[in-house]
Amino acid sequence: MTKGGARYNSSGTACIGLADITDSMMVIKKLIFEEKKITFPRLLDAVNTNFKNDSKLLAQIKNKMVLFGSGDEEALAMANRVTKLAHDIFIEHENYRGGKYTAGFWSMSNHVAFGTLTGALPSGRLAGKAFTPGLTPEPHASRSILDNIRDVAKLKAENMNNNIAFNVKVVPGVQETHQKNVDIIYSYVKTYSDLGGMQMQLNVVSSKTLRDAMEHPENYQNLLVRISGYNAYFVTLNREMQMELIERAEFNI
Amino acid sequence: MTQDEIKLPLILDIKGNSLDDGPGIRSVVFYKGCPLSCVWCHNPESKKAAVEISFEAKTCINCGACREVCPKNALACDNPFYVDRRICDLCFLCVDACPSGALDKIGTLMSINDIVKKILPDKPFFDTSGGGVTLSGGEPTLFMDFTSGLLMSLKQNSIHTLLETCGFFDIQKFIDKLYPYLDAIYFDIKIIDDEAHKKYCGVSNEKILNNFRQLFRKTADDGKMLLPRIPLIPNITDTESNIQEIALFLKSMNINEAALLAYNPLWHEKSDKVGVNDPYKNCKMMTSFSDRDVLERCNRIFDASGINTIL
């Protein structure tokens, strides 16, 4: 079938947890190296014990760190450094067809499965919890979805040559007209593309609805949600995946 | 403090992606300091023009780091507000020490440049949505010169500008310094009866209503937007007689559009945070959201006067 050689022979990879890694690196950079507020052994001990004996450090990380997706230039630079590292390592390797390995940043539902197998991280993500889906920022990175959108749009596309998945959950206001909701979402997507973004996927649903669907699946047989690169019927997902969707950042429109 | 003594405002917050403070996607700049003192103020932390300390009990992890650094011993768990503001000298050592963010400093001195720099990254969203910047508070007109400079700078960057105001300002200064750089004005009309206005808002409404009349004539001539907004406060502004009087007031100028702001009780928590005693804490009406019936009743009154209401 490939006799004569296919023009594009690459193999794609999918990297999970860009925001988790970026935010963890920022904690190490800021708290240990720059501000010298904590030591490596203290952080290591906190991570090894799932922050059980160091709730103060966990609070400090959760509330006072600038994260990827907050509009902070340094955090964005760190995210670009991480994607470049992954890209540069993969591209050096050749697959059995003689093609290159490309770096992608999307997770299907694996960010949940892999999360259950992984211990705590310097970012304050606790053991067993899901990683961030695709390359989506942490829910508490910013109160404004615009910061998320701008940061993701500014990630360098050349480092993400096996594409990305950027998940956004928006909740329409009860008082808003359908037209206003459509206009606002249009503006998010249009601006994201104008700024250089290449992919985003939206769930327009509230956590309240999703919780109700967990309790009364019989009423929500047709509720379709976007996971991270594909759609699924919410009621058919396992509990961990359902919880991850609920815990995603929720922005009111 | 008089208006003339205040030169630079403290900024409470700059909120991005606001969809309720004017057309499109907007950034809202909240000033600190207001000449009125409405008993229901939704941003009680914006009333004073000075820096304050806030404490949020539900965020506190009780690690004690703040009590260790406080030089005045102003922090105590048995104090319902936690911070004794009679002793606290606002050194903010506790805020730096607090890992959870439960303790916070309210009010930041920002230059016009600082503010514009913070807002500009969101300009592409203003452009695709027909949005812009809204100045709110607090009361931006307390700082005429600063606000004038800020508006000028926003217009230089081709940004749509909107002001939310309580209407208590010097009209001549307003027209000279702010008006040329404003695209739209949201003007609050609260209570028509002057005695009640003094009782609930702390000042006479004479200046406010006069300013509204003058601005109405001016905006009508210039084709700028002036939107009267009526906050519906249970038993204070939403009474049958007050709503009737407001409708009459607007009708006398042939105004045919007004915004009704449904009551939102979320400010009670914020009162606690800045250590302000809240006389309505246990009042059922003041701690629940506006009733549908009340909204419909107010709507009907405006309708009957030929005034279209937007919620």
Residue with tokens 């990175």: A141
Mean local confidence (pLDDT), B168-196: 98
Non-local CB neighbours of B150 within 8 Å, separated by 6+ positions: B29, B112, B115, B116, B135
| Helices A239-247 and A207-215: angle between axes, nearest 10 degrees | 160
Give the β-pairing of A167-171 and A231-233.
Answer: unpaired
A59, A187, A194: residue with CB nearest B129:
A187
Handedness of CA B277, B280, B284, B287 (dihedral sign): negative
Give per-residue pLDDT as tens, B89-120.
Answer: 999 999 999 999 999 999 999 999 999 999 99
Per-residue confidence (pLDDT) for residue B3, from 0 to 100: 44
3-class SS of residue A104 = strand
Indicate the burial class of A22 (C-beta count within 10 angstroms; 0-12, 13-18, 19 or more). buried
Kindly report the nearest CA distance between residue A189 and chain B, in angstroms.
Answer: 10
Mutation for testing the B interface, residue in A37, A185, A189, A191 having most B CBs under 10 Å: A191
Give per-residue pLDDT as tens, A44-80.
Answer: 999 999 999 999 999 999 999 999 999 999 999 999 9
3-class SS of residue A109 = coil
Number of H helices, E strands in chain B: 11, 11
CB B184 within 8 A of CB B147: no
Give per-residue pLDDT as tens, B225-280.
Answer: 999 999 999 999 999 999 999 999 999 999 999 999 988 888 888 888 998 888 88
Query: What is the percentage of chain B residues whose pLDDT exceeds 70?
Result: 98
For residue A174, name the pLDDT band (cuts at 50, 70, 90). low
User: Which residues in chain B are contacts of A189 at CB distance < 8 A?
Assistant: none
For residue A2, name the pLDDT band (cuts at 50, 70, 90). low
3-class SS of residue A134 = coil
Non-local CB neighbours of B294 within 8 Å, separated by 6+ positions: B232, B234, B238
Examine the pLDDT at B59 and tell me if it is beyond 70.
yes
What is the ipTM metric for this complex? Answer: 0.90
Examine the pLDDT at B181 and tell me if it is beyond 60.
yes
Report the C-alpha gap between B205 and B209 in whole angstroms. Answer: 6
Per-residue confidence (pLDDT) for residue A221, from 0 to 100: 86
Residue A129 DSSP code: P
Mean of the per-residue pLDDT values for chain A? 92
Per-residue confidence (pLDDT) for residue B129, from 0 to 100: 97
Per-residue confidence (pLDDT) for residue A106, from 0 to 100: 93
Per-residue confidence (pLDDT) for residue B297, from 0 to 100: 93
Report the C-alpha gap between B140 and B136 in whole angstroms. Answer: 6
Per-residue confidence (pLDDT) for residue B1, from 0 to 100: 43
B59, B65, B124: residue with CB nearest A191:
B124
Q: Which two tokens stand for residue B38?
A: 């409405």
Mean of the per-residue pLDDT values for chain B? 94
Report the C-alpha gap between A152 and A168 in whole angstroms. Answer: 11
Where is B9: in which H helix or E strand?
A: none
Kindly report the nearest CA distance between residue B250 and chain A, in angstroms.
Answer: 25
Q: Do B61 and A56 touch (CB under 8 A)?
A: yes
- Longest pairwise C-alpha distance within chain A: 62
Per-residue confidence (pLDDT) for residue B6, from 0 to 100: 47
Where is A118: in which H helix or E strand?
A: none
User: Which residues in chain B are contacts of A64 at CB distance < 8 A?
Assistant: 99, 101
CB B123 within 8 A of CB B113: no
Examine the pLDDT at B127 and tell me if it is beyond 70.
yes
Per-residue confidence (pLDDT) for residue B2, from 0 to 100: 47
Q: With DSSP H G I counted as helix, E B as strand and the rest as coil, what are the percentages for chain B, rounded to 5?
A: 40, 20, 40
Q: What is the pTM of this model?
A: 0.91
Q: Which two tokens stand for residue A229?
A: 């690169």
Find the angle CA(A146)-CA(A182)-CA(B261) to the nearest 5 degrees: 80
Examine the pLDDT at B76 and tell me if it is beyond 60.
yes
Q: Do A60 and B99 touch (CB under 8 A)?
A: yes
User: Which residues in chain A are contacts of B125 at CB distance < 8 A?
Assistant: 146, 187-188, 191
Per-residue confidence (pLDDT) for residue B202, from 0 to 100: 96
Mutation for testing the B interface, residue in A73, A151, A182, A183 having most B CBs under 10 Å: A183
A150, A184, A251: residue with CB nearest B121:
A150
Which residues of A fall below an 8 Å CB-CB distance to B?
Answer: 55-57, 59-60, 62-64, 71, 143-147, 150, 173, 175-176, 180, 183-184, 186-188, 190-191, 194-195, 251-253
Kindly report the nearest CA distance between residue B193 and chain A, in angstroms.
Answer: 31
Report the C-alpha gap between B163 and B151 in whole angstroms. Answer: 10
| Helices B240-251 and B292-304: angle between axes, nearest 10 degrees | 30
Handedness of CA B87, B91, B94, B95 (dihedral sign): positive
Handedness of CA B171, B175, B178, B184 (dihedral sign): positive
Report the C-alpha gap between B204 and B168 in whole angstroms. Answer: 9
| Helices A55-64 and A40-48: angle between axes, nearest 10 degrees | 100
At position B169, the amino acid (one-letter code) is F
Report the C-alpha gap between B114 and B29 in whole angstroms. Answer: 12
Give the β-pairing of B52-55 and B26-32.
Answer: unpaired
Give per-residue pLDDT as tens, A200-237.
Answer: 998 888 888 899 999 999 888 888 888 877 788 898 89
